[in-house]
Structure 1
């Protein structure tokens, strides 16, 4: 967690002087907020060891889940913006997969997803305003839950995300948005299964489809 905080601070220190040098565009609606919901679809997998020995064919499974999202951003020019997206921390179950499927629910966690992206907006289509973006992804873990495994601990992680979406502005201030993010995220998890220490290198790589309202001010 400390390393994530240090990274975020370093990113802001490096980025802010450059961003301040970019003039805002002429109108006074430079800030924007998007609020809606996002469906998180993991592309998960894991390499698992128990007692130091690899469990061949053992992996994990996660279900798709939906949570509320909010995104705050600033338009530095008509084409360039940056935003921070966060979600209400969902609680998800972690199931055994492959040869571990018979164990059912291995454990669970409550986590907070967040992304910081720079975006390029295309402004040649009137009310329809598509954009692309990229930046770091943060996963904060607030709670771990035991299941078939005990002492489950999933570590916070840092990854990368790419983004594509659009706003359709019904008025100058209000509109609707559709957003898609694909993230690349790895983490580590530990626990105990039948008294044997278990560790896993976990791939999450979620895709997130979101939609909702856009407000500019």
Structure 2
């Protein structure tokens, strides 16, 4: 018995519909894949700006009238300032950065056998550093880096206290650096940067009529954080 053509067509349509539904059930629900973070476009220049703290590992060797002062030492309290680092990328991995800040007022206090003299002097100055940096890539928004290079402690002004006619020389040293950027988009992010700076400064003056000379170990750790801008 032959089925009418209309019945054959209807049967074929039902078969196709049920077949498609069965295939959909086997495949499961259709989901949209989560967006994948894309590395931002390569930008050569960067700026870091924000507050910085200087945490000193200080010490001193002092002389009075050319003779060592046994047990003499100093203390330099922590100092806080605003700092900027400007940098340039030669490649996505290799960059240089120049960091400097508003010079804080550093108080030098007498310690050891000189305890009781109070504040020996105050110094307006702070370190700046030029570092070669390696930036790690392929970690998405989190972008760590390391660096190293020369550092310079620039002294702008000395202030007398127990020591008069105080004069402190600029000091050249070395710094190591670790930090990271966390980028919010192609241009903006935030950073944390830590530098360990190794510095020895020479200073001189008078304590009463007696000439005083000292070699002061500074060795500050500079903790810098704030906003990153790339362009």
Is the TM value for this pair above 0.5? yes
Cα root mean square deviation, aligned: 1.1
Q: 1:110 aligns with which of 124, 134, 139?
A: 124
Paired residue for 1:142?
Answer: 156
Paired residue for 1:55?
Answer: 69
Partners of 1:183 and 1:92 lie apart in 2 by 16
Q: 2:195 aligns with which of 176, 181, 190?
A: 181
Tell me by how many angstroms 1:84 deviates: 0.3
Deviations 1:113-139 (A, max 9, x none): 210000001112100000000000011
Partners of 2:171 and 2:163 lie apart in 1 by 21
Q: 1:34 aligns with which of 42, 48, 52?
A: 48
Paired residue for 1:72?
Answer: 86
Paired residue for 2:114?
Answer: 100
Partners of 2:176 and 2:48 lie apart in 1 by 17
Partners of 2:172 and 2:106 lie apart in 1 by 19
Any idea what SS the aligned residue of 2:73 has? strand
Normalised by the size of structure 2, how large is the TM-score? 0.81
Runs (5+) with no aligned partner, structure 2: 1-39
Tell me by how many angstroms 1:59 deviates: 0.9
Q: Is 2:150 aligned against 1:131?
A: no
Paired residue for 1:155?
Answer: 169
Partners of 1:66 and 1:112 lie apart in 2 by 10
Determine if contact 2:60/2:214 at 8 Å carries over to the other structure.
Answer: yes
Partners of 1:28 and 1:108 lie apart in 2 by 44
Any idea what SS the aligned residue of 1:77 has? coil
Tell me by how many angstroms 1:28 deviates: 5.5
Paired residue for 2:134?
Answer: 120
Tell me by how many angstroms 1:183 deviates: 0.8
Deviation beyond 3 Å, 4+ runs, structure 1:
none
- In the TM superposition, 1:169-208 aligns within 5 A as 169-208=183-222
Tell me by how many angstroms 1:53 deviates: 1.2
Runs (5+) with no aligned partner, structure 1: 1-25
Paired residue for 1:22?
Answer: none
